[in-house]
Amino acid sequence: MNHFLEEISSEVRGAFAVLGYRSELGKVTVSNRLDLCELQCNGAMAAAREYQKPPLTIAAEVAERLQGNSVFAAVEVVAPGFLNLDVSARYVRDYVIRMGAATKLGVKSVKPQKVIVDYGGANVAKPLHVGHLRSAIIGESIRRIISYAGHDTVGDIHLGDWGLQMGLIIHELKQRHPQWVYFDPLYPQSQDKAGSGEEPQEALFTLADLAEIYPLASEKSKNDSDYREQAQAATHELQSGHRGYRAIWQQIMEVSLTDLRRVYDGLDVSFDLWKGESDVQEYIADMIAGLINDGFAKESDGALIIDVSTATDSKEIPPCLIRKSDGASLYMTTDLATVLDRVKEINPDAMVYITDKRQNMHFEQLFRCIRKVGMVKPEMELTHLGIGTMNGNDGKPFKTRDGGVMRLEELVAEINEKMYQRIIPNQTMSEEEARETARVVGLAALKYGDLSNQAGKDYVFDIDRFTSFEGDTGPYILYTIVRIKSIMAKCALADGEAGEERIILSYLRYLDEEEAAVRTGAKTLLLALAGFSAMVEAAYQEIAPHRVAAYTYQLANAFNMFYHETKILTESVNEKRRAYLALLAITKMVLETCIDLLGFSAPERM
């Protein structure tokens, strides 16, 4: 089925065409004066210029043709040539019935593309900060939107696991425990030592140790250039295959990944691939040799660079640095090699990267480089979504109360506690259920608070506002869904109406057309529901979860308006009550689909 506005437009286009005008002029949009009409068409204005006729005349001709068209309840011509339209209640009701029966609520099927979504991007052994939170939340939603739009997605966390932080930790451990077998100068060469029982089977350090070591080593390297150089050397040795360092690295990975998986699970963020920078090490030597051979990579002050600037650049685009003068590879190097790996293993049609917008230049360079050296097929779509910063109430990057950098887990704990405080006073829940509910609603508060903002913009993280049950918030959306669930449960109890969703939905046909006539709550709700598929397509095209959030809020509002003006449970005419029940069921279905696209779910009660 077509989008609602497309179907409506095709009626108006038909009228334009019959009258001898270009049919595209019949495009219908949502009215920007909802107090006057539901939809509007401005085509007569453009037609006037093209056909040298007064717009009012053209509009009147079109209106005349549309008289008696059952799609419209009202067609009005307004100076200087607008067509104000109200859609017929029966038509929108039937559209929603079709939508309820269609797969994926009427979202059109497409030729599936294979899309890699690169998000999360945690750095191993460094604490996860709120900065990584946005990439995870937004990326998860984007992956779900792209899948729902009909494509095959592969989500890859692309761990930062091959950089200086590893060298810093290794170097610090070496200073503290020079006697460890990994640091024995003979260890790397001596094959017979491997598996001889000298290597510790379990990691010699814990997550807490790493959390202490990394910041300390990082601080030391800032003030002590010897220390820094040694850490850099350790990084390079690790990358070149030093066996002892690889063994330590392996242990750092194990300890950190267990923790990372737990954190992402708690956020309901998941990945198909847990690959990282280290996984593409094997490609690097050949890749670089090839780039030199083909004349793309050039020496510059001992380092290796690829020029990606063009004559038409309006700003300076620095060259890609693919090998440092000390021989170590860089972020750019592993990102290039990752493209080779992805092309070989997955052969995607498109790749979407989601990171902090401070990496905008990195991706500009990366994409230019990929295309310049012909690493991907020309039709491959490459997108980078640079996300804004999460600020505190003071407008500065989010901090803890005592001014430190907020760790992700502390933030989540704070929200859950706030949610718990809001939930318990009016509930008969057990402590356990209240805690679990607080977790589910807290996650919605966090995710919705983020996703309701345009990804590229900075926003203020306001815990009080985000956890409120009123306004444009996650808890308000969940509260609406819970309300629907509870009415549906009561209805079902009242007359054994439970039944299959499909049957319930078919009751929508009982919705009285008079009642759903012009601008009642029921009609507004139907119109909001009918906009679902176009919204999904727009959210996909623009890679914009905030579109889903805005729609969800609009739909929740429309539902609550209907709810307040309608006596549902006490409605004595059976068919009427059933029709309402159907309206509840489809609203719930659409709202639940929306929050699933945003990456959270609703509790049974709250």
User: Near ligand ARG by CB under 6 A, which window of 118-126, 382-390, 409-417, 567-575?
Assistant: 118-126
Q: How far apart are CA 113 and CA 357, in angstroms?
A: 26
**Residues within window 487-506 making contact with ligand ARG, judged by CB under 6 A:** none
HSE-CB at 559 with a 13 A cutoff on CA atoms is 30
User: Near ligand ARG by CB under 6 A, which window of 116-124, 312-320, 443-451, 535-543?
Assistant: 116-124
Q: Identify the residue among 158, 228, 418, 577 touching ligand ARG (CB under 6 A).
A: 158
Q: How far apart are CA 522 and CA 576, in angstroms?
A: 12
CB 146 within 8 A of CB 540: yes
- Please say which residue, 139 or 188, places its beta carbon nearer to ligand ARG: 139
- Please say which residue, 158 or 483, places its beta carbon nearer to ligand ARG: 158
Phi, psi of 75 (to 5 degrees): -130, 120
Q: Identify the residue among 123, 221, 256, 453 touching ligand ARG (CB under 6 A).
A: 123
For residue 139, state whether it binds ligand ARG (rule: CB under 6 A): no
Q: How far apart are CA 585 and CA 559, in angstroms?
A: 11
CB 497 within 8 A of CB 441: no
- Please say which residue, 129 or 243, places its beta carbon nearer to ligand ARG: 129
- Please say which residue, 11 or 335, places its beta carbon nearer to ligand ARG: 335
Nearest residue to ligand ARG on Cβ basis:
121
Mask: binding to ligand ARG, 312-351, rule CB under 6 A, as x and -?
-----------------------x----------------
Beta strands in 47-136, from DSSP E residues, in sequence order: 72-78, 82-87, 114-118
**Residues within window 516-535 making contact with ligand ARG, judged by CB under 6 A:** none
Sheet holding 28-30, edge to edge: 28-30, 39-41, 82-87, 72-78
Shortest CA distance to 482 belongs to which of 444, 435, 516, 530? 444
- Smallest gap from residue 160 Cβ to ligand ARG (A): 3
| CA pseudo-torsion sign 119, 123, 124, 128 | negative
- Smallest gap from residue 501 Cβ to ligand ARG (A): 40
- Smallest gap from residue 276 Cβ to ligand ARG (A): 8
Q: Identify the residue among 81, 139, 160, 386 touching ligand ARG (CB under 6 A).
A: 160
Specify whether the backbone of 302 is left (phi greater than 0), alpha (psi in -120 to 50) or beta: left
How far out from the chain centre does Cα 569 lie? 37
How far out from the chain centre does Cα 74 lie? 39
- Please say which residue, 160 or 474, places its beta carbon nearer to ligand ARG: 160
User: Near ligand ARG by CB under 6 A, which window of 48-56, 115-123, 237-245, 468-476?
Assistant: 115-123
Element (H, E) at 391: strand 390-391
- Please say which residue, 118 or 279, places its beta carbon nearer to ligand ARG: 118
- Please say which residue, 121 or 155, places its beta carbon nearer to ligand ARG: 121
- Smallest gap from residue 124 Cβ to ligand ARG (A): 9
- Smallest gap from residue 136 Cβ to ligand ARG (A): 11
- Please say which residue, 353 or 600, places its beta carbon nearer to ligand ARG: 353
Q: Identify the residue among 271, 353, 367, 398 touching ligand ARG (CB under 6 A).
A: 353
CA distances from 606 to 267, 437, 440 (A): 19, 7, 10
CB 493 within 8 A of CB 485: no
CB 130 within 8 A of CB 263: no
| CA pseudo-torsion sign 497, 500, 503, 507 | positive
- Please say which residue, 337 or 443, places its beta carbon nearer to ligand ARG: 337
Q: Identify the residue among 55, 81, 106, 121 touching ligand ARG (CB under 6 A).
A: 121
For residue 118, state whether it binds ligand ARG (rule: CB under 6 A): yes
Helix, strand or coil, per DSSP, at residue 453: coil
CB 95 within 8 A of CB 112: no
- Smallest gap from residue 151 Cβ to ligand ARG (A): 19
- Smallest gap from residue 161 Cβ to ligand ARG (A): 9
Q: Identify the residue among 165, 235, 355, 473 touching ligand ARG (CB under 6 A).
A: 355
- Smallest gap from residue 544 Cβ to ligand ARG (A): 20
Residues sharing a CB contact under 8 Å with residue 324, sequence separation 6 or more, in sequence order = 303, 330
Q: How far apart are CA 339 and CA 381, in angstroms?
A: 13
Beta strands in 31-183, from DSSP E residues, in sequence order: 39-41, 72-78, 82-87, 114-118, 152-156
For residue 165, state whether it binds ligand ARG (rule: CB under 6 A): no
Q: How far apart are CA 463 and CA 263, in angstroms?
A: 20
- Please say which residue, 123 or 452, places its beta carbon nearer to ligand ARG: 123
Q: CA-based Rg of the chain, rounded to a whole angstrom?
A: 29
- Residues in the interface with ligand ARG (CB under 6 A) total 8
Q: How far apart are CA 420 and CA 433, in angstroms?
A: 10
Q: Which residues does residue 227 pair with via DSSP β-bridges, in sequence order? A: none
Neighbours of 201 (CB within 10 A): 5
- Please say which residue, 143 or 158, places its beta carbon nearer to ligand ARG: 158
- Please say which residue, 332 or 477, places its beta carbon nearer to ligand ARG: 332
User: Near ligand ARG by CB under 6 A, which window of 117-125, 381-389, 512-520, 522-530?
Assistant: 117-125
The residues that touch ligand ARG, with contacts defined as CB under 6 A, are 118, 121, 123, 158, 160, 335, 353, 355
